[in-house]
């Protein structure tokens, strides 16, 4: 069966510090991968998605970036965090042509 991991689970970072969140998927090959942010009481905002290694599409202009160095690894980064970057970051995957997405446990980021 497929499993998706995210780490760390929680993170508290000062403004201006760098960020690296990691997501890995097990049990499938060539998944589509997604990064979302969920602000309190709001829906899910798609940040990035990837259909293959090195292929990243950005949905929202911001100071975040994403990379996919391996087939089942997706990384969300920032060089300098802003207060507005606080939120719950979710990684998700989908298989092939399927539209159903499966989410990881999330990372709660607080920028202070």
Partner 1 sequence: QKEVEQDPGPLSVPEGAIVSLNCTYSNSAFQYFMWYRQYSRKGPELLMYTYSSGNKEDGRFTAQVDKSSKYISLFIRDSQPSDSATYLCAMKKPGSARQLTFGSGTQLTVLP
Kindly state whether residue 22 participates in binding partner 1, applying the rule CB under 8 A. no
Spatial CB neighbours of 41, under 8 Å, sequence gap ≥ 6:
none
The minimum distance between CB 79 and partner 1, in angstroms, equals 26
| Binding of residue 5 to partner 1 (CB under 8 A) | no
Residue range at the interface with partner 1 (CB under 8 A); choices 14-22, 67-75, 76-84, 93-101: 93-101
What is the nearest approach in angstroms of partner 1 to the Cβ of residue 99?
5
Q: Is 99 in the site for partner 1 (CB under 8 A)?
A: yes
Residues that bind partner 1 (CB under 8 A): 6, 32, 34, 41-44, 46, 49, 51, 57, 59, 88, 90, 92, 94, 99-106, 108
């Amino acid at each position: 069966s497929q499993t998706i991991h995210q780490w760390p689970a929680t993170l508290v970072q000062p403004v201006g510090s760098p960020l690296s969140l990691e997501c890995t998927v097990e049990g499938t090959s060539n998944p589509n991968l997604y990064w979302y942010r969920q602000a309190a009481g709001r829906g899910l905002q798609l940040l990035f998605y990837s259909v293959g290694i090195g292929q990243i599409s950005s949905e929202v202009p911001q100071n975040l970036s994403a990379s996919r160095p391996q087939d089942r690894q997706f990384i969300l980064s920032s060089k300098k965090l802003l207060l507005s970057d606080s939120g719950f970051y979710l990684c998700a995957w989908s298989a092939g042509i399927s539209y159903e997405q499966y989410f990881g446990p999330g990372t709660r980021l607080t920028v202070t």
